[in-house]
Amino acid sequence: MNVKIYRDAWGVPHLRADTADRLAYAQGWNAAVDRGWQIEVERHRSQGTSASFLGSDAVPWDLFARRSRLDDTARRCFDRLDDATAAWVTRYVAGVNDGLAEGARRAPQFAATGLDPRPWEPWVPLGIWLSTHVLFAGFPTKLWREEVARALGDSAIELFSVEGAHSSGSNGWFVGADRTAHGAPLIAGDPHRPIEDPGVYQQIRLACDAYDVVGLAVPGVPGIAHFGHAGSVAWAITNAMADYQDLYRERLREAPDGSGSWQALGPQGWRPVSVHTETVAVAGAPAVHVEVAETERGPVVIGDIGDIGDIGDADVLSLRTPPRVTCELGFASLPALLRARTVADVDRALDGWIEPVNVVIAADTEGGQLHRVAGRVPSRHRDNLLRPVPAWEPAHLWHGWRATPRAAVGAFAVMANERGLAAPLGVEFAPPHRARRIRELLHGRRVWTAEGMAEIHRDTRLDSAKPLLALVEGLRGLSPGAALIRTRLLAWDRRMDAGSTDAACYADVRAAVVQLIAARPEFKALAENVESRACPEAMRPWLAFLPRVAFALEGLLTEPGASVLPPRDRIEVVRSAVEQVAADHRARGTDAPEPTWGARHRLAPWSARPKADPGEWPGVPGDHDCVLSASSVPGVTDLSTRGPAARFVWDLARRDNSRWIVPLGSSGVDGAPHRRDQLPRWLRGELAPVVTDWNRLTEEHFSAMSAASPTALRKAVHEQSVDGFGLVRVVPLDPTADLDLVHGWVTAERARFWGMQGHTREQVQETYAYVDSLTTHHAFVVERDGGPVALFQTYEPAADPLGECYDVEPGDIGVHLLVGPAPEGAPGGERGFTQGLLVALVGYVFADPEHLRVVVEPDARNEKAVERMLRAGFEAGPEIQKPEKRARLAFLRRERWAAHG
């Protein structure tokens, strides 16, 4: 056995191989089969080619991907990998390539969009990683701050700091051994990201001779980067909220030599700018041309050089990122994490991590603990962190890398994107509410279990509501309806539960406050500036004015906003909002049922190809600043686009007592049983068990799902590229690993002349185990372009019952050929397909100089097989009677094949 796949009750893949390379191949293959559509979309997004099948809606992202040079950066980073890591990634990509055809057959989106999967380049996983995380550090926020300063003055540049307007909502926490029921640490968390359909995280297990790890993988990327449990050690991360990407304002000119080239002014003077044009194909619309330019700082992501007249006419900004500067992404950390056995191993592995910058918690069974930042943050002027800076000023150069902070771990450790361990590395962090609430909950129980952690995951208390509710409490002289709302909100438990009508009422008031503040004349210039700002469409969410007000509301209603929104004005804004909501309630009528928070706060996952009628997704509890951080945009929409992209608990006492859940399911295939079977539990805040006992899993050979898998990693005895047909490999048959494949073929109706119809799996396995024990008989699986397509057997006639039925000549070699189910796209149909196979198979037989004549003995009733052999150049022989059949002999001599083959 080389590779096997198992599934638990939730369809989670458990991959098992004898080597790490074979396991990497299996993970790639599984990603292609289970998530083929998803990973192909991500590949195209990383290369800026997704509009070619998704249409005009995908053009903005493709333009950004091209201009920021994601694919080129991925290629450069791959070229810098050490040989072992490069080989490991390459094996993963080989698995993807061998599984994509099956994945495309299972996913109707391919046919619907006309997308034909193409082989991946070895650097594609790095490109997917870059594409997924390039906006994680939120560099477009620097554009927003620039507009704030322009409209309201430099003193207001951080006025709308939300401690996280577009921040992550991820949580992670550690509970020490002395506070757990089983005397070993617990690590838990829930990465809050945009909810995608299929999900961005895949539950998986990777086991081989070197390691056995369960965790959350990113489809299209090998290994388990962020959340894993290796048995003796476990780890988890959250976004550190560090600032490690810079925007530079470029000053450009045409080169004085008249060559038509361009130059950019840097600290050392004028330097060349590389410029070329690329074409973005668009399904159903004309292609779009995009200028791709790069200065010494990095790719130009805003502004076109072609629009520049005199120096400084255009606002041209370049983007500088650590991977582009160093040609390193940190992928060598991925296989190192899989091999980790202790916290020290995890620590060493993360020393090489680059992007994104994360806060990490880890623990092991030997008492080791880790709490550190991992990633690369440049050392530079503080202004670089706040806004675009002049490229030509030396003060804004990078000067090496910041030290990554670490901290001691006590009974508890919490990470929730707050201003804490990573504070020296960033500007804006998440509000402190989630971190404080998690600590409060942890201290509220003396002994913790893995099962009990769900209480923290699903906590919905909204502490950020306090400033608004304090203003509501101070209101006097309200209308009866508004006074009733005031009374309700002051009695509310501040929990954003899906079934709560009071939570919905609070959301109404909050939305009205946001809209009233946004409409104030003080912000008119700012609102107009960001609306008219020249900016790529992919970055526009960071400049949207109303969401900025919504997420900064807590600060605007307290002291930091006093200069723009004085206390008296705040009171009047809240008064107007409460009266407005009361009027809306009166207009709805007393007989109308009062809406709950869940009725409006519905899940709204992102999909690459949204359905025309997506149906109604369920309501979800939580809110932006709850531990259960399911975000909407107050004042804009109550739909929730962000939330827990996974939840997990790693138990170091016993790994199979660990827990996890994802929003939808383990499969990315529409209509599959495990497509959305975890959604009900996810909505209830429940967790599913992590199963690690192989005996409790269902074995599922690769052959049961994809013809490519059983033999793809086995060494071939013969390989031959046949013109117009493809690559043919002849691989020794494994009676156990290939049993599903072979049993399905030999017992099919189309194989009735093979003589094994009605055979059980055990009988078929016994037959080929016996063949495998002989030195005179051999069985092979034949592959074409990576997929098994035929069963091929050779034997020495003198050592076979056939030798008693005709005069055996020296150099005779007998063969049997059973072609599998009619392959799609075979040249010339099945006839042309078989001819293509025979070219390679006869070539294999005659590669042995001892073989002078090939002998075949198809069933005489199998006219199709007899005709096939004669057409291939065999000469007809006599009919013979064998114990099991009457057969027609046919012969092919070496010299005839050499002359006519």
Q: Is residue 739 part of a domain?
A: yes
What is the tens place of the pLDDT at every residue in 647-694? 999 999 999 999 999 999 999 999 899 999 999 999 999 999 999 999
C-alpha pair distances (Å), 162 with each of 427, 431, 543, 561, 715: 11, 7, 14, 11, 58
**CB within 8 Å of 78: residues ≥ 6 apart:** 86, 89, 122, 123, 126
Which residues are paired to 390 by β-bridges? Answer: 249
The arithmetic mean of pLDDT across residues 360-373, rounded, is 97
Q: Is residue 156 part of a domain?
A: no
- CA 806 from chain centre, in angstroms, equals 61
State the residue for tokens 């076979």.
800
The one-character DSSP state at 288 is E
Q: Is residue 327 part of a domain?
A: yes
Put residue 477 in one of left, alpha, beta given phi > 0 → left and psi -120 to 50 → alpha.
left
The arithmetic mean of pLDDT across residues 3-13, rounded, is 94
Q: Is residue 146 part of a domain?
A: no
Question: Are residues 773 and 810 part of one domain?
Answer: yes
pLDDT of residue 827: 42
Question: Are residues 442 and 521 part of one domain?
Answer: no
Q: Is residue 79 part of a domain?
A: yes
Question: Are residues 678 and 544 part of one domain?
Answer: no
The region of weakest confidence among 134-148, 297-311, 319-333, 401-415 is: 297-311
pLDDT of residue 707: 35
Comparing 739 with 414, the larger pLDDT belongs to: 414
Question: Are residues 571 and 541 part of one domain?
Answer: yes
The region of weakest confidence among 216-220, 373-377, 483-487, 895-899 is: 895-899
Question: Are residues 737 and 656 part of one domain?
Answer: no
What is the tens place of the pLDDT at every residue in 87-123? 999 999 999 999 999 999 999 999 999 999 989 999 9
CATH code of residue 363 = 3.60.20.10
The region of weakest confidence among 88-92, 331-335, 427-431, 817-821 is: 817-821
For residue 47, pLDDT over 50 is answered with yes
Question: Are residues 705 and 722 part of one domain?
Answer: no
Residue 814 has which token pair? 């007998």
Question: Are residues 721 and 667 part of one domain?
Answer: no
pLDDT of residue 5: 93
pLDDT of residue 614: 56
What is the tens place of the pLDDT at every residue in 720-753? 878 878 778 898 998 988 888 899 899 988 788 7
pLDDT of residue 1: 43
Q: Is residue 276 part of a domain?
A: no
Among candidate residues 680, 709, 738, the one where a domain is terminated: 709
**Most confident of the following: 303-317, 485-499, 564-578:** 485-499
Question: Are residues 564 and 544 part of one domain?
Answer: yes
Among candidate residues 533, 564, 595, the one where a domain is terminated: 595
The arithmetic mean of pLDDT across residues 688-701, rounded, is 92
Contact 772, 735 (CB under 8 A): yes
Question: Are residues 336 and 228 part of one domain?
Answer: yes
Q: Give the sheet arrangement for strand 688-689, strand by strand.
A: 412-415, 171-175, 186-190, 647-651, 659-661, 688-689
The arithmetic mean of pLDDT across residues 625-647, rounded, is 94
For residue 821, pLDDT over 80 is answered with no
The arithmetic mean of pLDDT across residues 831-857, rounded, is 88
CATH code of residue 542 = 1.10.1400
Q: Is residue 236 part of a domain?
A: yes
pLDDT of residue 469: 98
For residue 703, pLDDT over 80 is answered with no
Question: Are residues 813 and 848 part of one domain?
Answer: yes
pTM: 0.79
Is residue 164 very low, low, confident or very high in pLDDT (cuts 50, 70, 90)?
very low
Average pLDDT, the chain: 91
Comparing 470 with 863, the larger pLDDT belongs to: 470
Q: Is residue 219 part of a domain?
A: yes
Q: Residue 775 burial by CB count (10 A; 0-12/13-18/19+): exposed, middle or buried?
A: exposed
pLDDT of residue 604: 93
Among candidate residues 709, 734, 758, the one where a domain is terminated: 709
The region of weakest confidence among 25-29, 105-109, 310-314 is: 310-314
Question: Are residues 333 and 440 part of one domain?
Answer: yes
The arithmetic mean of pLDDT across residues 542-558, rounded, is 91
Q: Residue 566 burial by CB count (10 A; 0-12/13-18/19+): exposed, middle or buried?
A: exposed
The region of weakest confidence among 307-311, 601-605, 649-653 is: 307-311
User: Which structural domain, as residue segments, surrounds residue 764?
Assistant: 714-900
φ, ψ for residue 447, nearest 5 deg? -130, 130
Is residue 287 very low, low, confident or very high in pLDDT (cuts 50, 70, 90)?
very high
C-alpha pair distances (Å), 734 with each of 95, 706, 845: 20, 16, 20
In DSSP notation, 632-664 reads -BTTTB--B-EEES-EEEEESS-GGG-EEE-SS
Question: Are residues 561 and 486 part of one domain?
Answer: yes
What percent of the chain has a predicted confidence (pLDDT) above 70? 94
The arithmetic mean of pLDDT across residues 503-514, rounded, is 98
Number of domains in the chain: 3
φ, ψ for residue 651, nearest 5 deg? -100, 115
Contact 518, 549 (CB under 8 A): yes
